[in-house]
Structure 1
Amino acid sequence: MQRSLIPNTLTSLFIYGCVFTVPLIQASEISFPHLETVGVSLLTVEADMAEINVEVAIKAKTAKEAKSLSDKAVSKFIERLKAAGITQADIQSANLYLQPQYQYTKGKPAKLIGYSANRKVIVKVKALTRLNSILDSALEEGINRINNIALKTSKETEYLTKARTAAIIDAKNKAQSIAEGFGEKLDGVWEIRYFEQHPVRPVMLKMNEAGPNYDIAESYQQGQVTIKDRVEVIFKLE
């Protein structure tokens, strides 16, 4: 559900302007009367899905044992994911980080004391109502680190289009207002600069305790996603 389309302000113009290093054509390079504007938009929507990044970190005496234990935890977690209806396409687990562990004592050579194995699993959860149970199942199967939970929207393309349209309208409205304020008239567009924005800025999921009988599962379903866009335009003046 769309929440709000926040109109730009001079402050937001300054903030977004700091992001880009490529300027419009310098005024001295244009020999006719013109007006430069920057249109921006900010769209806040409800999150309806998430991407979780979890990890198993194992220490063992041998490299083989460390790898085996980490592989087992990941394998069991994936089995539970598939049993819960998560498809293989929404699971990434093809990684392994294995390194020796040493004990250092002053005046003595380093002593090999074992190995550590780390494997990450990234899961796309398409229903936030299932997020809490998936996190619980990860921990139950030996996944001992939750690195990140990023909220997302399944309607990303639709909202990106809306944000782009809003930025274009913003640029036009500014140009029209400024030109009229100086008693001038616009005479079409001379140049448009558009830089693809990062599609979605995920909001980190936070658990909010509402009271002694709060619903833990529901607390993992609250959050928003912010989508923004920007367009730079040079208008000709009559």
Structure 2
Amino acid sequence: MKMISRLLIVTLCLAGFGVYAGTPDFPHLQTTGYGEVSATPDMAEFTVKVVETTMTAEQAKQTVDKVVTDFLAQLKEQGMSDDNVSSSNLYIAPQYHYPKSGQPELVGYRASRTVNVTVNQLPDLNQYLDIALNSGINQVQNVQLKVKEQAKYQEQARQAAIKDANAKAKSLASGFDKEISGVWRIDYNAPNNQPVLMRSMAMDARAESNTYQDSTIVIRDRVDVIYKLD
């Protein structure tokens, strides 16, 4: 028991030291800066899926494979690069009926495959979606508008976050009759969230070809800063 108690005391001391070591022992203030940039999307990614249920696994496989093969062939005919298309492996699962009494009854097999497509020219998005549906694809799972120069907009959002943090720090310091004498610590984690679509996609019925209007995405960033005060 004495040994356990000593180990516990040592552990608590070390933990306390770690907390103390991470806290500045001088006057300071901490701010969080936020930045965001609005951008007009110029490309898109979408995911479609074909799902079929038949009496046998072989029938389900053949039906799904044929739909995906036809879709991929039509994409290639339209000049779509293989690098912009990826398809999943076939997934087959037995389907059962569960009566109130008795054993489950096998009623068929469900097969599915998904296809991911990157569209480098946003005006072509509707065309490729139409091709998917006409090929027998029966589910559109996700359509995401994006920008090609993501890194450029992310840098702009980051610089806006830095300016925001500095502005808040100066305002707070001035309000308490203090001055900022430097930066003690900067905490930054690259955001892993996707840009946010701020307005819904709408079709322009007046145009001869379908276009997207009022579509804006917002790219955000943040930074945490601890400043030294005089």
Structure 2 CA distance for partners of 1:148 and 1:49, relative to 1, 3 Å: same
How big is the shift at 1:145? 0.5
Counterpart AA for 2:114 = K
Q: Percent identity among equivalent residues?
A: 40
Partner of 1:48: 42
Q: Which moved more, 1:161-170 or 1:192-201?
A: 192-201
Say if 2:149 is the partner of 1:155: yes
For the aligned residues, what is the CA RMSD?
A: 2.4
Hey, what's the Cα distance between the residues in 2 that align with 1:120 and 1:100? 18
Partner of 1:233: 225
Partner of 2:52: 58
How big is the shift at 1:142? 0.6
How big is the shift at 1:66? 0.5
Partner of 2:122: 128
Partner of 1:97: 91
- Kindly indicate whether the alpha-carbon contact (under 8 Å) linking 2:85 and 2:118 is maintained by their aligned counterparts in 1: yes
Partner of 1:80: 74
Give me the TM-score of the superposition, normalised by structure 1.
0.81
Q: For residues 1-238 of structure 1, what are the structure 2 equivalents within 5 Å?
A: 29-203=23-197, 206-208=200-202, 213-215=205-207, 217-220=209-212, 222-238=214-230
How big is the shift at 1:64? 1.1
- Segments of 5+ residues of structure 1 without an aligned counterpart are 1-24
- Kindly indicate whether the alpha-carbon contact (under 8 Å) linking 1:128 and 1:221 is maintained by their aligned counterparts in 2: no
- In the alignment of these two chains, the number of paired residues is 212
- Kindly indicate whether the alpha-carbon contact (under 8 Å) linking 2:201 and 2:213 is maintained by their aligned counterparts in 1: no
- Kindly indicate whether the alpha-carbon contact (under 8 Å) linking 2:57 and 2:109 is maintained by their aligned counterparts in 1: yes
Hey, what's the Cα distance between the residues in 2 that align with 1:124 and 1:202? 18
Give me the TM-score of the superposition, normalised by structure 2.
0.84
- Kindly indicate whether the alpha-carbon contact (under 8 Å) linking 1:149 and 1:204 is maintained by their aligned counterparts in 2: no
- Segments of 5+ residues of structure 2 without an aligned counterpart are 1-18
Counterpart AA for 1:133 = Q
